[in-house]
Chain A
Amino acid sequence: MNTPLRRVGMAMMVMVLLLLGNATWVQVINADEWRKNAYNRRVLLDEYARKRGLITVADGTVIADVKETTDRLRYLRTYNAGPVYAPVTGYLSVTYGTSGMERAENDLLNGSDDRLFARRVSALITGRDPVGGNVQLTLNTKVQQTAYDQLTAKGFTGSVVAIKPDTGEILAMASTPSYDPNLLASHDVNAQAAAWKQFTAKDANDPLVNRATQALYPAGSTLKVVVAAAALADGKNKDSQYTAKGSITLPGSNTPLPNFNGTPCGPGETVSMETALAKSCNTAFGEMAGQVGANKLRRQAEKFGFNDPDLEVPLVVETSTLGPIPDEAALYQTGIGQRDVQITPLENAVVAATIANGGKRMQPYLVSKILGPDLKSIDDTEPDEVDTAMSTANAAALRDMMIQSEINTGGEGRLQNVQVASKTGTAEHGTDVTKNNPHAWYIGFAPAQKPEIAIAVIVEDGGDRGLGATGGKVAAPVGRAVMNAYLAGR
């Protein structure tokens, strides 16, 4: 009986070998597939249990902190002035994942980024827990706070983005309604769930969406600066004449294209580009866009940063586009920022900043420095000039026209002793423009001759003015206050 017994022994060894082989497959060779499976919360939980890096703003104020706890997750993420910075910081939730900077810089904050490799190895050797790196943002406390206060004071739904024109640093990025990320970072699962339910409720108006980067709006009249830039590049100047009619018919159709309230742009048959921009005449700009042509207009828009699907600041930014522009009528409508034009508040701020910077477009960015756990700088962001959108002379000409526009714009809160260049917009949207309140836009920069801050403001659905809202009445005061906060605090 010994032969079969030996064979049974062989069979037993084969079984163990099979198990070992399979374990090698599961645990070693194919491990990554299981480890990185979306259902596998182990890796996530481990990262949460690590001391996460801090997020600070330009002056060093900590806006995302960590607090040691006694529970299993060990560290609690806390946000200072949560709702003010929430669009940028995002949230860190065990149940609902991450968003904003917490997601974009997750590897760095949780310490698994390659730039922290040396520190990780030393942590491994010394047996200490690996610690995340810190992120320092370009945000300016005062500007950010003002932007948030301005939007919330009147209960606006909207967004403010402020950019330093010569570097591309984002000085403020506010979005309202906002939320308190502390509630989602709570280690109490039920509190998290309650907060999530509250934030995602139908009537909550999407507080979790960062409108500055994630929301696309019709650009309205603010796009006229892009059309003007295209016309200037096409050889026109501020005195080039365009129709002054109160209303024109779109080519190839019976649809009218009226000015605001149907008012003629000037006393004569024609009007200069400067006046047309200052008075925001739709008829003139429809014609201007028609003359420039779809291709040149599109190229000009791309030089300002449209059609860039890869833009990250490092928050992912939705792509702004002019739309397909299938015919001449669409081109006219595109010329006044309607039809299929879609733009993020961030991109509109980039347009303003580019004009302010003499036509040179700087890459917008939020992270100024990456710091190691020991607060030593690992990586500094250098300003990056990505494109030349306009010649210096054309940019100066456009700036001068925008100064006239600011003078022509109503609204409160005009800046004393500081010259501002701006453009307003009142963007119609929805199917029935007589019932849907228009979005109010305001883009601009100051001081006009030596710009230090460029901004874009959008207030959704007319803010507090309803159907009668205009960019000048609703959005301009917000923009001016934000610029003032920066310039006054210099």
Chain B
Amino acid sequence: MLSFAAGLVTLALILVELNQERSLSLRILYLGLAYLGLFACAHLAVRRWAPYADPVILPCVALLNGLGLVVIHRIDLAMEGTVFPDGSTWDPMAFKQVIWTAIGLLLFAATLKFLTDHRTLARFGYTFGLAGLVALMLPGVLPGFIAPEINGAKIWLRIGPLSIQPGEFAKILLMVFFAAFLVSKRDLFTVAGRRFLGMDLPRARDLGPLFAAWGVTVAVMVLQKDLGSSLLFFGIVLVLLYVATERAAWVVLGLGLFSGGAIVAWKLFGHVQQRVANWQDPISRYELVGGGYQISQSLFGLATGGIGGAGLGAGRPEMIPEANTDFITAVIGEELGFIGFAALLLVYMIFALRGLRSAIAVRDSFGKLLGGGLAFAVCFQVFIVVGGVTKLIPMTGITAPFLSKGGSSLLANYVLVALLLRISAAARAPQRAPKPKPQQPAIADQHTVMVERPK
């Protein structure tokens, strides 16, 4: 399966080179082999440290990551030599992304090796929670020279030449915290409060965590102008609460809170209004600064690709701004058409459902909660970004897992995969045989006992 994915990716790369450069070089073979080698190592790491892990998840990830690399390379080729208005030239991204992939896979292997049991994580729940919260809020509160505002969002930390998005890691850290927290306090949340409209409302004092999550979400939205992350974060918390308590009331309450927050944000903040207006009618705002140009280009690309697509390297996805990050799925939709686009979504779905299945199969509550949360996080993130790209929901600016350019996103997602594999390994590992009872010696070996005859 892994070599199948590698084959597909190499084929895609060949197509890109053919269509863009009209020549093939031996370089492609090396790149293909390097890619295969990289994932073969990852595969061996899984076999070595988590032998019972789900066999489908890693090939899915390999395919997505490889496709992402090809598309990033493809955009590089198209943008080669472009000079921007400020005089800077296009900086090729593909090689950097390969390095990030290698680092990501290293981190992935390390996580598998050193985390032999996912339940260990539960013990550090609060530490993780604090770290996650700090990571999430850091770029929002830090001054501009270390946390610059890029494309209107303040979610990056710049340390020397590196810029990282701590929010990507915060996502996982906070998920671990919430899973641990909910498992330990699970009973509390299931205590019924008043009944209302046929639902058991939670007690007011138990609403604390939900309100906390809501507060953080709103803070992220306000301080960092990062709508996508706040939506993702809140969605994850809601799902974790729901799974832990088995109460629909939480979901209803949470959705109500979020809609309220969203409406208030829409009323108060220009950037939210802008996004919504661009979503409602991108064409009429086509020529405005911060208008519908990007989403229109995305839709043009998707529609021009049609059912069969333009062919890899044969479309014009470089017309979409941010084609190699947030809008990378639009590139795939344009060049591989609806067929390729649907296949991509299905790969994501398979990945998420396999993760969820592991969560269902695993025996401990913490594993269930964490696994479910991780699987849902990936799927929900895809929904947010692809929905934005295809004008199903307003565009909120978030990366497509494993596809988009960007080291932080890739590293965080590889850790996520490692955790999922660890949980699936625990779920699929054969039950340890119960301790053998001390066997009774054979009857023949028993001492003979004199039995007195009753008188």
A interface vs B, CB < 8 Å?
1-9, 11-13, 15-16, 18-20, 22-24, 26-28, 30-35, 37, 39-43, 45
B131 within 8 A of A: no
B130 beta carbon closer than 8 Å to chain A: no
**Contacting residues, chain B, for A40 (C-beta < 8 A):** 300, 303-304
Q: How far is the CA of A17 from the CA of B220 in the complex (A)?
A: 29
Asked if residues B368 and A16 are in contact (CB atoms below 8 Å), the reply is no
22 contacts between A and B (CB under 8 A): A1-B365, A1-B368, A3-B246, A5-B360, A6-B360, A12-B352, A12-B356, A12-B375, A15-B383, A18-B383, A18-B387, A18-B392, A19-B392, A27-B307, A27-B338, A31-B303, A34-B300, A34-B302, A35-B300, A40-B304, A42-B304, A43-B304
Chain B residues, CB < 8 A from A12: 349, 352-353, 356, 375-376, 379-380
Of residues A4, A22, A39, which shows the largest number of chain B Cβ atoms within 10 Å of its Cβ?
Answer: A4
Report yes or no: B386 in contact with A19, Cβ–Cβ below 8 A: yes
Query: 1/0 contact trace for B368-406 toward A, CB 8 Å?
Result: 110010011001101100110011100000000000000
Question: Given that A8-B372, A18-B392 are known contacts, is A23 also in contact with B300, CB under 8 Å in the complex?
Answer: no
The 5 closest A-B pairs by CB, nearest first: A34-B303, A31-B303, A40-B300, A27-B338, A15-B383
Give min CB distance, B341 to chain A, whole Å. 5
* Chain B residues within an 8 Å CB radius of A31: 302-304, 306
Q: A5-B360, A15-B382, A42-B301 are in contact. List 15 more A-B contacts (CB 8 A).
A: A1-B243, A12-B353, A12-B380, A13-B353, A15-B380, A16-B383, A19-B382, A23-B302, A23-B338, A26-B302, A31-B303, A32-B303, A37-B283, A39-B286, A40-B300
Decide: A4 and B283 in contact? CB cutoff 8 A.
no
B348 interface hit (Cβ, 8 Å):
yes
Q: A31-B306, A35-B304 are in contact. Are A16 and B346 (CB under 8 A)?
A: yes
CA distance A37 to B302 in the complex (A): 13
Q: With the chains together, A8 CA to B238 CA distance in Å?
A: 11
A450 to B423, CA, bound (A): 98
**A23 & B348 in contact (Cβ 8 Å cutoff):** no
A23 and B389 alpha carbons, distance in the complex (Å)? 10
State whether A1 touches B246 (Cβ < 8 A): yes
B386 cross-chain contacts in A, Cβ below 8 A: 19
| Closest chain B CB from A15 CB (angstroms) | 4
Given known contacts A12-B379, A35-B303, A26 and B353 CB-to-CB distance under 8 angstroms: no
| Complex CA–CA separation, A26 to B387 (angstroms) | 11
Q: Is A27 in contact with B333, judged by CB distance below 8 angstroms?
A: yes
**From A13, A15, A26, contact of B299 by CB (8 A):** A26
Of all chain A residues, the one with the shortest Cβ separation from B342 is A20
User: Is there a chain A Cβ closer than 8 Å to B227's Cβ?
Assistant: no
Mark contacts of B103-139 with chain A using CB atoms, 8 A cut-off: 1 yes-contact digit, 0 otherwise: 0000000000000000000000000000000000000
Q: How far is the CB of A14 from chain B (nearest CB, A)?
A: 10
Q: Which residues of B contact A13 (CB under 8 A)?
A: 349, 353
**B326 CB to nearest chain A CB (Å):** 15
Establish whether residues A22 and B306, one from each chain, have CB atoms under 8 Å apart when the complex forms.
no
Interface residue B258 (Cβ < 8 Å from any Cβ of A): no
Bound-state Cα–Cα, A2 to B239, Å:
13
CA distance A24 to B303 in the complex (A): 10
CB pair A5–B283 under 8 Å, yes or no, is: no
**Shortest Cβ distance from B386 into chain A, in angstroms?**
5
Q: Which residue of B lies closest to A35 (CB)?
A: B303
Contacts of A2 in B (CB 8 A): 360, 368
Q: A9 CA to B319 CA in the complex, in Å?
A: 36
Interface bin, chain B: 35 or more
Q: Which A residues touch B369, using CB under 8 A?
A: 1
> How far is it, in angstroms, between the C-alpha of A16 and the C-alpha of B384 when the chains are bound?
11
Q: Tell which of B303, B353, B375, B391 has the most Cβ of chain A within 10 Å.
A: B303
Residues of A within 8 A of B244 (CB): 1
Q: In the complex, what residues of A have CB within 8 A of residue B301's CB?
A: 42
Nearest Cβ distance between residue A241 and chain B, in whole angstroms? 67
A18 to B319 alpha-carbon distance, docked (Å):
26
Is B101 interfacial (CB 8 A cutoff)?
A: no
Q: B315: shortest Cβ distance to chain A, in Å? A: 7
Tell me which residues across on chain B come within 8 A of A45, comparing CB atoms: 316
Report chain A residues within 8 Å CB of B368: 1-2, 5
Q: Does B181 contact A (CB under 8 A)?
A: no
Distance in angstroms from A48 CB to nearest chain B CB is 11
- CB pair A26 B390 closer than 8 Å: yes
Is B100 interfacial (CB-CB < 8 Å)? no
**A15 to B387 alpha-carbon distance, docked (Å):** 9
Supposing A2-B360, A31-B306 touch, asked if A42 and B391 sit within 8 A by C-beta, the answer is no
Closest beta carbon of chain A to B425's beta carbon, Å: 18
Check B242–A27 contact: CB distance below 8 A.
no
Question: What's the Cα separation between A26 and B390 when bound, in Å?
Answer: 7
**How far apart are the CA atoms of A12 and B244 in the complex, in Å?**
17
Cβ of A12 to closest chain B Cβ, rounded Å: 4
Let me know if A23 and B390 touch, CB within 8 A: yes
The CA of A7 and the CA of B239, in the complex, are separated in Å by 10
Known interface pairs A27-B333, A42-B301; A5-B345 also in contact (CB < 8 Å): no
Q: Which residue of A lies closest to B353 (CB)?
A: A9
Is B36 part of the binding interface, using a Cβ–Cβ cutoff of 8 Å? no
- Interface check B6, CB cutoff 8 A: no
Closest to B314 in A: A46
Is the C-beta of B359 less than 8 angstroms from some C-beta in chain A?
yes
In the complex, the answer to whether B379 meets A15 with C-beta atoms within 8 Å is yes
Q: Which residue of B lies closest to A14 (CB)?
A: B383
The answer to whether A8 and B376 touch across the interface, beta carbons within 8 angstroms, is yes
Q: Given A5-B243, A12-B356, A18-B387, answer yes or no on A27-B305 (Cβ-Cβ < 8 Å).
A: yes
Which residue of chain B has its CB nearest to the CB of A38?
B283
Residues on the B chain within 8 Å of A16, using CB: 345-346, 348-349, 379, 382-383
CB contacts (< 8 Å) of B304 on chain A: these are 31, 34-35, 40, 42-43
Query: A16–B352 Cα gap in the complex (Å)?
Result: 11
Tell me whether A8 and B303 are in contact (CB under 8 A). Answer: no
Given A4-B243, A8-B242, A15-B380, A27-B337 contact (CB < 8 Å): yes
Residues on B with beta carbons closer than 8 Å to the beta carbon of A18: 383, 387, 392
Whether B303 contacts A19 by the Cβ 8 Å rule is no
CB-CB < 8 A to B307: which residues of A? Answer: 27-28
Query: Separation in Å of the B444 CB from the closest CB of chain A?
Result: 50
User: Judging by beta carbons under 8 Å apart, are B349 and A22 in contact?
Assistant: no
CB distance from A74 to the nearest CB of B (A): 10
Tell me whether A42 and B338 are in contact (CB under 8 A).
no
Q: How far is the CB of A72 from chain B (nearest CB, A)?
A: 9
